Chain A
Amino acid sequence: MSAALRIAVSEEKGNVPVTILHVTGDVDSKTYMDLESKASEVISAGASNILLDLSGVNYMGSAGLRALHGIVNKLKSSGGGKMKLLNPSDAVSRVMFTLGFDKFFDIHKNLDEAVKAF
């Protein structure tokens, strides 16, 4: 049974305003739509720089990785924007590495650095 997804939103000001989605739980075929809809919500509200804090995610299945790509698509179709990832767990990092996602997403270990990188 997958752990339910909780997503808290916060804002940081680096070189540009950055919207941070703090995700907690498992991102799998049952929950990935929650992540997509929360991201759509903040993008519709004007967010164009999104930092996905994955430190609370224990498991990310292929449906979750699909959602990451979906968010990038949504940013593109909403006039452009960037998404970066923060602190994926070892298990999530391993999945991203095996599937080659690490080459296409900026992954940061430190919040300040990640915010400044936008």
Chain B
Amino acid sequence: MLSIEETCRFLRKSSFFACSSEETVMSLAHYSETIQIPAGEKLFETGEIGTAMYFVVDGCVRIHKDDVVITHLGREEVFGEVAALSHEVRTASVTAEMDTILLKLEQDAIYKTLTAHPGAARCIIQALCRRESEIIGEKVERLIKAKVMERELDIGQKIQRNFLPEVIPEIEGWHMSGLLQPARKVAGDFYDFFIVPKPHCVGIVIGDVCDKGLGAALFMTLFRSLIRSISVYRNVVETHSEHDDVINTLRHAIALTNKYIASTHASSSMFSSVFFGLLVPETGQLCYINAGHEAPMIIGPSGIRQLLTPTGPVIGLFEEAEHEVGMAEILPGELLFGYTDGATDAQNELGEQFTEERLQSIVGNGARNDKAFLNRMFSAVEGYIGSADQFDDITMICVHRETGTHR
């Protein structure tokens, strides 16, 4: 508890009352109340009706909106003046960072003092104008920084688009397409289609780097490029069996990518789930490694015929990870559909998830156009999200084998 003299001394230090008369400061000191708030306690919340302003005597408070910290205020700083001097609601929440002592001044007391000592109004108006001018200055600076950042992100977004296949391999009897809807400007999801010249096959990739935003986007480019470059450019030690060569290419690409990121970037703890399949177009045979990714599905005339479940853990974290190679076949008229968890975890306005069950229940059956199929699936998820926020990237790929292709 501060004495009247200490309170007066303290109020004098505040720009709001620095130029006020002795009588004004004495009157305010008389009305003010010393309060203590323990560390972690919230003083008030955004949107509350407030009738007091506060001066920090000792300690520190955090000004925030939900989890976003706007600033910290320490000794001799003032907050809550807008709500105290007007009928506006609190514009931010305030929580004590440590045990804190505050001087609290109620609106009634301020206006009573201003009525009795009209000269004090000038000091308050000047302080408010100074505060307003500082806030405008900060806003302009933040706006400029945000614009610069926005431009950088736009450039990043354009560059990242180049990491998705611009041209999908054209293979007789097959149709492939993919779509990626980022939750933010840049994405941690990726997909890829590319020709592997030796052994001749088509690489099919869908992956999801952990977390989201810029960090995930940087790693997405690394995972995607390593898998593609190792598969396409490696010198194949040919065996007598093309099938074995395909399996070796798969193993090699995943093992090297995993080892490189897990050893070189261990401290980042970044990882990716990846489905990587090598398709032999002539036979429809698909050898794959599913590194902790949502199971892609092969859909035939009777619906889902096969789920390509994980054959090993995610890549990029555990150097000693091992991955089995799975075997499947896409028959004429069937399609392979892969997706990332942004689709199944998508939430509607009520916070309910789309779920894997719902996704599986709407895939339908039989032959269809690859693009139309993807659009139908994506529209279903988009429609479910409605006006809620899309909080994760959504990626889908589809590989359709025409009915007329035979072995």
Residues of A within 8 A of B (CB): 1, 29-30, 61-63, 65-67, 69-70, 73, 98-101, 103-104
Contacts and interface: CB of A to CB of B under 8 A. Distances in A.
Interface string B74-87: 00000000000000
The 7 closest A-B pairs by CB, nearest first: A100-B313, A62-B210, A99-B292, A69-B269, A63-B211, A70-B269, A66-B269
A60 B291 CA distance: 19
B317 interface: yes
Given A66-B269, A73-B267, A103 B211 contact: no
Contacts of B10: none
B270 interface: yes
Nearest to B311: A100
Nearest to B208: A62
Nearest to B315: A100
Interface in B254-305: 266-267, 269-271, 273, 291-292, 294
B269 A99 contact: no
A70 B310 CA distance: 24
A61 B212 CA distance: 11
B318 interface: yes
B351 interface: yes
Interface string B201-218: 000000010111000000
A98 B269 contact: no
B314 interface: yes
A42 B260 CA distance: 31
B67 A30 contact: yes
Nearest to A69: B269
A66 B273 contact: no
A29 B211 contact: yes
A1 B351 contact: yes
Nearest to A31: B67
A100 B211 contact: no
Interface of B: 67, 208, 210-212, 266-267, 269-271, 273, 291-292, 294, 310, 312-314, 317-318, 321, 351
Contacts of A104: 313, 317-318, 321
Nearest to B322: A103
A66 B210 contact: yes
Contacts of A63: 210-211
A99 B317 CA distance: 11
B321 A100 contact: yes
The residue in B312, B314, B317, B321 that gathers the most chain A C-beta atoms within 10 A of its C-beta is B317
A29 B210 CA distance: 9
B224 to A, nearest CB: 17
Nearest to B295: A98
A6 to B, nearest CB: 12
Contact of B273 (A30, A69, A99): A99
B276 to A, nearest CB: 15
A73 B269 contact: yes
25 contacts: A1-B351, A29-B211, A61-B211, A62-B208, A62-B210, A62-B271, A65-B210, A65-B271, A66-B269, A66-B270, A66-B271, A67-B269, A69-B269, A69-B317, A98-B273, A98-B292, A98-B294, A99-B313, A100-B291, A100-B312, A100-B313, A100-B321, A103-B318, A104-B318, A104-B321
A39 to B, nearest CB: 12
A63 B345 CA distance: 14
The residue in B208, B212, B292, B314 that gathers the most chain A C-beta atoms within 10 A of its C-beta is B292
Nearest to B211: A63
Contacts of B310: 98-100
Nearest to B391: A29
A83 to B, nearest CB: 13
The residue in B210, B266, B291, B294 that gathers the most chain A C-beta atoms within 10 A of its C-beta is B210
Contacts of A100: 291-292, 310, 312-314, 318, 321
Given A62-B210, A98-B292, A103 B266 contact: no
B97 to A, nearest CB: 15
Contacts of B294: 98
Contacts of A29: 211-212
Nearest to B321: A100
Contacts of B292: 98-100
A78 B127 CA distance: 51
Given A62-B211, A100-B292, A104-B321, 16 more contacts: A29-B211, A29-B212, A63-B211, A65-B271, A66-B211, A66-B271, A70-B269, A73-B266, A98-B273, A98-B292, A99-B310, A99-B313, A99-B314, A100-B310, A103-B318, A104-B313
